[in-house]
Amino acid sequence: MSFTAVGSMGAVTDVAAFRKKKTTSAATAVGDLMSETGDGVTRSTSSDTVSGATRFDSIAMSVQVAGDTSVLVVKLVDGMVLQATCTNNTNDNQVGSRCAVTDHVALNNTTTDLTTNVAPFEIVAIVGAATDKKALVRYVGGTAQTAS
């Protein structure tokens, strides 16, 4: 599993899932980060942004095969807390850093605080051992929020 909703720090009080049209034929898995493009969603890539034509939108909550035309998702909202699978080993010095995504299944965790619109998540805590490559992250919507 890549991204899992675990709670909130603020705005999110009730998580509701809904079905969205898939704009590509790619299969999806529970926890895939999804980006909105046109009139539906597709699996996120490292080039997606928080405000561009292809923007971070939601987390997949259902397994869909390549031929399926829709996917059950939970909308990302500012303050939503997720457990993320990370590309690199995790370390306490990454807490507070805003990070980009590697793709639809992983966060590109580093100690560098990114201030661009490709950095939608802030690391708030490390989960397990460094080699577990897991972190709690808060959706901050890129540069719209300030790292705490």
Tell me the per-residue pLDDT of 84-111, one tens digit each, with 9 for 90 and over: 999 999 999 999 999 999 999 999 999 8
Stretch 113-135: mean pLDDT, rounded? 92
Provide Rg for the chain, Cα atoms. Answer: 14
Q: How high is the pLDDT of residue 135?
A: 96
For the segment 14-22, the average pLDDT, to the nearest whole number, is 77
Distance CA(34)–CA(18), nearest Å, equals 13
* Tokens describing residue 93: 């010095």
Euclidean distance between the first and the last CA atom of the chain, given in angstroms as a whole number: 27
Tell me the residue type at 142.
Answer: G
User: At 99, which helix (H) or strand (E)?
Assistant: strand 98-103
Looking at residue 92, the DSSP 8-state letter turns out to be G
How large a percentage of the chain has pLDDT more than 90? 50
Contacts of 7 (CB under 8 A, 6+ apart): 81
pLDDT at 72 > cutoff 50: yes
Supply the pLDDT for residue 7.
60
Q: Would you say residue 11 has pLDDT above 60? A: no
Model pLDDT for residues 45-63, shown as the tens digit of each residue: 999 988 888 888 899 998 9
